[in-house]
Structures are given as structure tokens and as C-alpha cells.
């Protein structure tokens, strides 16, 4: 089913004191390396720094092509994934199926080896997260999502050729919609559901977590179909 601002439609062609969050109109597209905005996440970052000082331990920057027409939006860095390596979806199980699928559908080249100095490069694609710092238990609080949202809004604005946003999971979907100034319910959830909103096509996918792939909720074929559809929209 396809949704637009007007409703159903046919498919279109295309532990410190908290600091004040940046305005959506003035925020940079990437937070500073030592971002102080979310006290709970800062405390968790410091715990990880003390335990694993050789890890990245900071807001994971977006990765990919600055002229991308496709943006993949995840939820937040995993503790042993991007929080360790500094690159989204690098070092945890979800990255394997994501990068393999991007290579297969022409949105990446090289070889994914679960480290930031491998030969992987994204083509016409960028990957970001709704929340840039790793949260305890992989679950950011709603207030943390809201505080980090101006960076997501700025990231969207910094991609001049952006046409399609693939949201990985329902929390990502809601945050992308809110970053666009819309209600989190402006487009419904559901794997494969598309919505033309704010000048973009939002394309929902189940998250590529190990839980979803191991249980069969998300199969490689289902995931690949999302990116083949993104390719169709981009090239139309």
C-alpha cells in the first residue's frame, strides 16, 4: 500500500547537566565527538571508555556518499558495533546482511570485513542513525530521540539529491517522520510500506537485527526486495 500526505495513493515516481539541544534550523548534520546533550548516554559512553578505552566510544558519524539519493536510517549504534568501530552497522550482526544487500543491489562496492578500514564504499547511499550514541540495552529513551533529532533533520537537509529513505524498524520510521516536521504516525508501519512525504519516498523495512533474521521475520529476500524497490524509485 502506498501513502501520501493526502492518504492512500498509487505509487509515485519518485551525567553532566544537560545542555540545550540545537535548533533544527542551526544544528550541524553530525554531533560533536564528545556530545554532552544526553546525560544517560554520556554516562554510558564514559563507562564504555573506562572499560574499553581503545573503542570509538562516541556519536557514530553518518557513513557514505554525500551526494546520495538513498539514505538508510537505523535506530542507534550497538555497543559492540558502531560504538566500538565508529562506523554505522560495522562490527555487529546486523551489518553483515545490510552491507551484503547493499553490495548486491549496487549501493556499495568493495568488501565488508566488519572494520572501518576495510574496502567497503557506499555508492549513491548514506547510512545514519536516529540516535547517534549507543544507548544501554540498545534502547534510547524518547527524550534522547528528541534531543538527537535536530542532527537527523540537518542530515536530511545536507543531502541535496536525496529521494528515498529506507527506515530500519518502527522507531527509525517515527524519528525520520518527526525529523521532517511531521507526526510520527504520518505514515503507517509495515515492512515494504511506502509513503511519499515531504519530497521523499519513505520505504519501511523490518530492522536487520540478528533477532529478526534468526527468527525468519526478515529474510534475505525480503530485505533485498526493499533495496531493489529503492533502486526502482531512484531511477524512475
pLDDT tens-digit readout, 17-76: 345 555 555 679 999 999 999 999 999 999 999 999 999 999 999 999 999 999 999 999
Question: What's the rounded Cα separation, in Å, for the pair 98 and 90?
Answer: 10
Distance CA 18, CA 48 (A): 20
Q: What are the pLDDT digits (tens) for 144-193?
A: 999 999 999 999 999 999 999 999 999 999 999 999 999 999 999 999 99
Q: Which domains does the chain have, with CATH numbers?
A: 15-235 (3.40.470.10)
Q: Cα 101 to the chain's mean position, in Å?
A: 15
pTM score of the predicted model: 0.89
What is the rounded CA–CA span in Å between residue 127 and residue 125?
7
- 202 with 187: CB under 8 angstroms? yes
Once rounded to an integer, what is the mean pLDDT over residues 88-107? 97
Segment 188-212, tens digit of pLDDT = 999 999 999 999 999 999 999 999 9
Amino acid at each position: 500500500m502506498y501513502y501520501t500526505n493526502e492518504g492512500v495513493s498509487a505509487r509515485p515516481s519518485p551525567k553532566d547537566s544537560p545542555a540545550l539541544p540545537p535548533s533544527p534550523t542551526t544544528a550541524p548534520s553530525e554531533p560533536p565527538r564528545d556530545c554532552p546533550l544526553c546525560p544517560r548516554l554520556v554516562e554510558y559512553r564514559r563507562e564504555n571508555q573506562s572499560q574499553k578505552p581503545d573503542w570509538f566510544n562516541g556519536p557514530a558519524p553518518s557513513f557514505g556518499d554525500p551526494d546520495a539519493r538513498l539514505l538508510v536510517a537505523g535506530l542507534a549504534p550497538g555497543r559492540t558495533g558502531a560504538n566500538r568501530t565508529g562506523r554505522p552497522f560495522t562490527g555487529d550482526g546486523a551489518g553483515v546482511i545490510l552491507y551484503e544487500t547493499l553490495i548486491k543491489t549496487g549501493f556499495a562496492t568493495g568488501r565488508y570485513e566488519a572494520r572501518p578500514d576495510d574496502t567497503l564504499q557506499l555508492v549513491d547511499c548514506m547510512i545514519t542513525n536516529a540516535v547517534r550514541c549507543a544507548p544501554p540495552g540498545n534502547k534510547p529513551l524518547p527524550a534522547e530521540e528528541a534531543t538527537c533529532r535536530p542532527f537527523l533533520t540537518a542530515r536530511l537537509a545536507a543531502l541535496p539529491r536525496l529521494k528515498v529513505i529506507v527506515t530500519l524498524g518502527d522507531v527509525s520510521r517515527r524519528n525520520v517522520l518527526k525529523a521532517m516536521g511531521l507526526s510520527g504516525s504520518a505514515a503507517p508501519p509495515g515492512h515494504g510500506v511506502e509513503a511519499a512525504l515531504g519530497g521523499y519516498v519513505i520505504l519501511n523495512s523490518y530492522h536487520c537485527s540478528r533477532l529478526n533474521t534468526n527468527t525468519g521475520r526478515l529474510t534475505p529476500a525480503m530485505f533485498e526486495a526493499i533495496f531493489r524497490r529503492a533502486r526502482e524509485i531512484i531511477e524512475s
